[in-house]
């Protein structure tokens, strides 16, 4: 494959993996430790990801258990969870914090699916913008004595890559939507 195409495919791949990371933080009906990925805790004056200061387990389908390595962090972790946009209330017994996930209402599920689709659309727009940038670059190659056939071939290849990545974005959105709507 042409290295000119690879550069743009790599950007499209990063867009797709960014979307997948975003989707993993959206909570479906069951507990998923990844929804805590964006939460940071003040650890001796340094904002530190929660995973680096506590052990996170899933003892039940709708419960996360957070066990900080230092009990002094419990208040900070609770505060970080409460100020996040997760909408969960942490319970602690002095050693362990438990997060119970309430059953999602049908209305909330539909809102989440809409949000997932919106993020999918944004990823598709980003991929199409990468294709546009690639095509602009390829058109400029005509000034460098690159044949029209070569330019057409590059444009065809970038279109195939675009189609492939858009299909993958649709697949990721579809999978997450099904996960959210499954009761």
Dump pLDDT digits (tens) for 75-119.
888 888 888 777 778 888 888 888 887 777 788 888 888 888 999
Q: Which CATH architecture has domain 33-100?
A: 2-Layer Sandwich (3.30)
Superfamily of 3-24+105-181 according to CATH: Ribosome-recycling factor (1.10.132.20)
| Average of per-residue pLDDT across 45-59 | 83
- Residue among 109, 89, 87 at smallest CA distance from 98: 89
Angstrom distance (rounded) from CA 99 to CA 80: 13
Confidence of residue 67 (pLDDT cuts 50, 70, 90): confident
Could you give the angle at the alpha carbon of 102 between the alpha carbons of 28 and 79, nearest 5°?
95
Q: What is the pLDDT of residue 133?
A: 92
The model carries a pTM of 0.69
Domain ranges of the chain: 3-24+105-181, 33-100
What residues contact 85, with CB distance under 8 A and at least 6 apart? none
**Other beta carbons within 10 Å of 16:** 20
């Amino acid at each position: 494959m042409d290295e000119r195409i690879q550069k743009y495919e790599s950007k499209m791949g990063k867009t797709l993996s960014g979307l997948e990371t975003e989707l993993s933080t959206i909570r479906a009906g069951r507990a998923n430790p990844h929804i805590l990925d964006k939460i940071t805790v003040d650890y001796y004056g340094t904002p530190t990801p929660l995973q680096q200061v506590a052990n996170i387990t899933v003892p039940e389908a709708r419960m996360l258990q957070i066990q900080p390595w230092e009990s002094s962090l419990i208040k900070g972790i609770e505060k970080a969870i409460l100020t996040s946009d997760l909408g969960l209330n942490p319970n602690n017994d002095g050693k362990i914090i438990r997060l119970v996930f309430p059953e999602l209402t049908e209305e909330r599920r539909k809102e989440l699916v809409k949000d997932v689709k919106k993020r999918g659309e944004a990823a598709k727009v980003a991929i199409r913008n990468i294709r546009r940038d690639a095509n602009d670059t390829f058109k400029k190659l005509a000034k460098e004595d690159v044949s029209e056939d070569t330019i057409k071939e590059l444009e065809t290849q970038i279109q195939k890559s675009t189609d492939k990545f858009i299909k993958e974005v649709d697949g990721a959105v579809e999978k997450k939507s099904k996960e959210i709507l499954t009761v």
